[in-house]
Structure 1
Amino acid sequence: MTAVEQRPAPSAAPPPRRPNPVWVLLRNSWRQLTSMRTALMLLFLLAVAAVPGSVLPQRPVDRGQVAAFFAAHPQLAPVLDRLGGFDVYAAPWFAAIYLLLFTSLVGCVVPRLVEHLRALRTVPPDAPRRLDRLPQHATPAEEAADPAATAAAIAATLRRRRFRTVVREHPDGVVTVSAEKGYLKETGNLLFHLALLAVLVGVGFGSWYGWYGNRLLVEGADTGFCNSVTQFDDSALGPRVDAADLPDFCLQLTAFAADYQPNGQPKSFRATVAVEQDGHTSARSFAVNDPLRLRHANVYLLGHGYAPVLRYTDRYGQQQTNVFPFLPRDGMLTSEGVATFPDANVDPRTNKRAENLQVGFEGVYLPTVDANGGAASAFPAERDPALFLTAYRGNLGVDAGIPGSVYALDRAQIDTGKLKRVGGERPQRLKPGESWTLDDGTKLEFLGTRQFITLSVRYDPTQSLVLVGAVLGLLGLMLSLAGHRRRVWFRVSPLPGGAGPADGSVVEAGGLPRTDYPGFGAEFEQLTQAAGRPVQSGGTA
């Protein structure tokens, strides 16, 4: 009996392995994020997101304008504030768009850069078999020279026109000339995107290592300030900056000159300051678009106004003289402000102050009084100045420890009756040098005004990087728009029926634009003529 060999049954084919859905989702999301379409959408979205930063006042630039917006729009301003409308560039939603755009650009540019470098090292391909099927084609024409010499002359002509050229000899005696041009288009594209990345990096690192401080600086030797956080009206330091890292310098406003047109529009502003730095004092001047450049800091002139100088004599004969900046509310420098004397009426016998005898004045300063009786200034320069004040006596509320504006009285104190209006129902008008005696015998004197300027002291260590990135981006955009990638081929064949290559040759040309290039037909015809080939060119149907 013969044993039958039993073979194991073939095993069933394993089922196809299902891809991990999480990995598929991540891969597809990354591809979508790093696509050029997504990058352009994010760039457009970033531009739209920056619009509120140009329309709405920003706290890092001018807190006074933000406060004025709150006063003018009490219902809308808190909503915009919660959305980050008054500090747009530090808002979380702006940072999210910024980081997504940065990631998209990196994922989009790096593969394209590698591919572009590979293409630069690759020689143009050989001529296709059917040149007559290309968009541009030149019919064959006879040449007296042999194919090698004809191809060499054509290649020399193309190289003079900055074409990358390769000459190939084939076994059948045919010589082809392959030429390509227009890589600057892709180079410009990559340069633009790399420059945009540089700008994004510069802005990001600038916010980390930069700082700013705003200051209202009144003219005079007694109102100067030094560069420290405590002496700024508003300041912000980057996460990588400490208060001790600020450069050491002091500024004192010595003069301010403003020139106006007849209609009151400003023509020029120029401030002159005394700068003390590194133990040396020097006089420097700067203007609105011409900042004062110091070591590791730039000082920008934002605006100016007037600060009335007032002297108050209390009921005990004690005098206090202070300078009170009034903030402009229009282009003619109609200015509003307050003058407070919380330490007035201190009894010299007990050295105690009655809280209900504090004095405050709020009012409006007009550099030029309107001859028609208007409530606003008629001209920004001091041609006919006047100060209109309303007096209040009582508790100013400054001892409660609650932060408040130095440019307005506490309305809660007035509403509760703790601060009462005195001195008549109508505001008192004062000219420089005039005085006002109140009902309790105290006196207020308007001594004149000093000019003040609002400054923004800033430092951005990546400012040069952002500037270079912007210039390179513009250059890359120009190259991208001006460049057109195209290829041309010349096939030089031995003359049919000839005894040898020296008997002559036949030249045929073809051209292919790699991008949309309406002028390629005319350029192709010029190339064939410059190469010395008396051929007739035309496109295929």
Structure 2
Amino acid sequence: MVVTEDRTSTAAPSPRRTNPVLALLRNSWRQLTSMRTALMLLFLLAVAAIPGSVLPQRGVNADDVDRYFVEHPDLAPILDRLGMFEVFASVWFSAIYLLLFTSLVGCVVPRLADHWRAMRSAPPNAPARLDRLPQHATVEDPVGGVEEIGAALRKRRWRVAVRGDTVSAEKGYLKETGNLLFHFALLAVLAGVGFGSWYGWHGNRLLVAGPDTAFCNTLQQFDESGLGPRVDAADLPRFCLELTDFKADFLASGQPSSFKATVRVDDGPARDFSVNSPLRLDGANVYLLGHGYAPVIRYTDRYGQAQTTVAPFLTVDGMLTSEGVAAFPDANVDPKAGGARDPNAQVAFEGLYLPTAPDQPPYTRSVFPAERSPALMLFAYRGNLGLDAGIPGSVYRLDQRQVDSGRLKRVGEATLLRVGEKMTLDDGSSVEFLGTRQYATLSVRYDPGEKIALGGAAVGLLGLLLSLTGRRRRVFFRVTTSGSSLVEAGGLPRTDYSGFAEEFKQIIESVEKKR
């Protein structure tokens, strides 16, 4: 018979190795959802928004961006590649935004669960040594036993738990409630902004006064527009605007004091709106961004054919000195040639408009923004305007490439025209300054997330108020002798609360028997 010995090993199993990828993901998530990371991302988001406030943005005013390119030809292309003219639509700003949103969700949701459990749980047991708490007192002649003490605390809106010969009470949960409310409100603001960027749209339009320049809310009639990823051009509400009047008041220094635009919506009555009071329509709001002047110029070519154009000039300073171009690409068409247009006989006038021209030269800058002494300085050009090349260009400036190449040449000298005056060119054609019309720069916008963001901001202020005024504190009572003739009390503020000593004194007085 063979006896075998059991040699089964009794050694402890080796510890299970942690997957390094899972460990990295877990640690990264903990770092992302920490309050420190959320504060850093919030600060970074605020810093990232600074360029959007300092530099002109295409979504607000594309003309200002074009002017910035002219004034800073070397710096502007670099900033454009970095997305500085479309900050809030850039990839790097969106990345910060999404990381902040994720961090807040991961940080606040667990805190909400902990706060909910804390509010549902009873106050903790009284410590063994009440005399070690920041506030301590002994009541020699209390109003009664633990039940009477608990009732007195409940009247003061404390959460009370009576256990044997001890009473535990707690107060101040509104502080954490307000803190969580503030953070969830911040999430609501971020969600509102994100929702608005997805389902909102905007468009800018320079609208000249007059029925012949009315504007309808279609994508093709905007000077600059942007649609959210979930918006189609067919989703835009249908309405038309006609600028019927514009009034601007200025101080003696030339500073504007008020702007008011009057428009007619479709065939309805005229409606007024101003800078801080937008025009609210069904499905869109119309904001007033600025205004200027559009000279009315009539050109009579060498064959006696007259053409009139209303050319908006862009303002270049606070006195509304304006620059622009009045182009006549269909001028000088020989009737004998069957109406064929000669591309080398096109005419354009580069101009400088002064609402209030100085009394003496140089006539380079207006001295007041209102039209007190209007004058128009014109520079005539003849040749190929480059409009048939199919290359996009600005309607407010001549194509400098045509000028540099000699295909477009200046004719004669600059001439200053007052209203009603005429200038004759070398070929017998003439140009006449008929007057001006005012124009308004409008921004038509729809943001479905603005109410969410506004509600979040209001709730955030309420949460911040509760967080700053709430004070978490606890008090404990213990009956130390039979017959409830002696009660020991202790108080502990959970947060910095300078008035807790006075409150604790009032609590002690409330449980003492009145003599």
Structure 1-normalised TM-score? 0.92
Query: Where does residue 295 of structure 2 map in the other structure?
Result: 308
Amino acid of the residue matched to residue 194 of structure 1? F
Query: Where does residue 539 of structure 1 map in the other structure?
Result: none
C-alpha displacement at 1:533, in angstroms? 6.5
Query: Where does residue 62 of structure 2 map in the other structure?
Result: 63
Amino acid of the residue matched to residue 399 of structure 2? D
Give the one of 359, 384, 388 matched to 1:395: 384
C-alpha displacement at 1:505, in angstroms? 1.7
* Distance change >3 Å, CA 533–CA 107, structure 1 → 2: farther
C-alpha displacement at 1:142, in angstroms? 1.4
Whether the 8 Å contact between 1:212 and 1:236 is mirrored in structure 2 is yes
Query: Where does residue 139 of structure 2 map in the other structure?
Result: 141
Give the one of 445, 457, 466 matched to 2:444: 457
C-alpha displacement at 1:447, in angstroms? 0.5
Query: Where does residue 395 of structure 2 map in the other structure?
Result: 406
C-alpha displacement at 1:71, in angstroms? 0.7
Query: Where does residue 206 of structure 1 map in the other structure?
Result: 196
Query: Where does residue 24 of structure 1 map in the other structure?
Result: 23
The CA distance in 2 between the partners of 1:494 and 1:11, in whole Å, is 57
Query: Where does residue 498 of structure 1 map in the other structure?
Result: none
Query: Where does residue 485 of structure 1 map in the other structure?
Result: 472
Query: Where does residue 538 of structure 1 map in the other structure?
Result: none
C-alpha displacement at 1:242, in angstroms? 0.7
State the secondary structure of the residue aligned to 2:295: strand
* Distance change >3 Å, CA 8–CA 64, structure 1 → 2: same
Give the one of 266, 283, 286 matched to 1:299: 286
Query: Where does residue 207 of structure 2 map in the other structure?
Result: 217
State the secondary structure of the residue aligned to 1:125: coil
C-alpha displacement at 1:493, in angstroms? 4.0
Whether 1:98 and 2:97 are equivalent positions in the alignment is yes
Give the one of 339, 342, 345 matched to 2:332: 345
Amino acid of the residue matched to residue 365 of structure 1? Y
C-alpha displacement at 1:3, in angstroms? 6.0
Whether the 8 Å contact between 2:139 and 2:508 is mirrored in structure 1 is no
Whether the 8 Å contact between 1:141 and 1:533 is mirrored in structure 2 is no
Whether 1:527 and 2:507 are equivalent positions in the alignment is yes
Query: Where does residue 429 of structure 1 map in the other structure?
Result: 416
C-alpha displacement at 1:428, in angstroms? 0.6
The CA distance in 2 between the partners of 1:5 and 1:354, in whole Å, is 115
Query: Where does residue 153 of structure 2 map in the other structure?
Result: 158
Whether the 8 Å contact between 2:143 and 2:513 is mirrored in structure 1 is no
Query: Where does residue 378 of structure 1 map in the other structure?
Result: 367
Whether the 8 Å contact between 2:261 and 2:273 is mirrored in structure 1 is yes
Q: How does 1:36-115 map to 2 (within 5 A)?
A: 36-115=35-114
C-alpha displacement at 1:327, in angstroms? 0.4
C-alpha displacement at 1:413, in angstroms? 0.6
The CA distance in 2 between the partners of 1:114 and 1:275, in whole Å, is 52
Indicate the larger mover: 374-383 or 19-28: 374-383
C-alpha displacement at 1:514, in angstroms? 1.1
State the secondary structure of the residue aligned to 1:349: helix
C-alpha displacement at 1:125, in angstroms? 1.5
Amino acid of the residue matched to residue 356 of structure 1? N
The CA distance in 2 between the partners of 1:482 and 1:188, in whole Å, is 9
State the secondary structure of the residue aligned to 2:195: helix
Amino acid of the residue matched to residue 301 of structure 1? L
The CA distance in 1 between the partners of 2:187 and 2:212, in whole Å, is 47
Whether 1:228 and 2:226 are equivalent positions in the alignment is no
Whether 1:125 and 2:124 are equivalent positions in the alignment is yes
Whether the 8 Å contact between 1:298 and 1:459 is mirrored in structure 2 is yes
RMSD: 1.7
The CA distance in 2 between the partners of 1:160 and 1:269, in whole Å, is 59
The CA distance in 2 between the partners of 1:285 and 1:95, in whole Å, is 37
Whether 1:238 and 2:228 are equivalent positions in the alignment is yes
C-alpha displacement at 1:508, in angstroms? 1.7
Amino acid of the residue matched to residue 507 of structure 1? V
Give the one of 246, 252, 270 matched to 1:256: 246
Runs of at least 5 residues in structure 1 that lack an aligned partner in the other structure: 496-500, 535-541
The CA distance in 2 between the partners of 1:114 and 1:71, in whole Å, is 56
* Distance change >3 Å, CA 506–CA 7, structure 1 → 2: same
The CA distance in 2 between the partners of 1:431 and 1:162, in whole Å, is 80
The CA distance in 2 between the partners of 1:54 and 1:223, in whole Å, is 32
C-alpha displacement at 1:5, in angstroms? 5.2
C-alpha displacement at 1:18, in angstroms? 1.2
Whether the 8 Å contact between 2:142 and 2:512 is mirrored in structure 1 is no
Whether the 8 Å contact between 1:270 and 1:288 is mirrored in structure 2 is yes
* Distance change >3 Å, CA 417–CA 405, structure 1 → 2: same
* Distance change >3 Å, CA 20–CA 309, structure 1 → 2: same
The CA distance in 2 between the partners of 1:338 and 1:365, in whole Å, is 11
The CA distance in 2 between the partners of 1:7 and 1:242, in whole Å, is 79
The CA distance in 2 between the partners of 1:145 and 1:26, in whole Å, is 59
State the secondary structure of the residue aligned to 1:274: strand
Whether the 8 Å contact between 2:240 and 2:265 is mirrored in structure 1 is yes
* Distance change >3 Å, CA 531–CA 314, structure 1 → 2: farther
The CA distance in 1 between the partners of 2:142 and 2:433, in whole Å, is 103
Whether 1:359 and 2:357 are equivalent positions in the alignment is no
Count of aligned positions:
513
C-alpha displacement at 1:130, in angstroms? 1.1
Q: How does 1:465-484 map to 2 (within 5 A)?
A: 465-484=452-471
The CA distance in 2 between the partners of 1:5 and 1:71, in whole Å, is 97
Runs of at least 5 residues in structure 2 that lack an aligned partner in the other structure: none
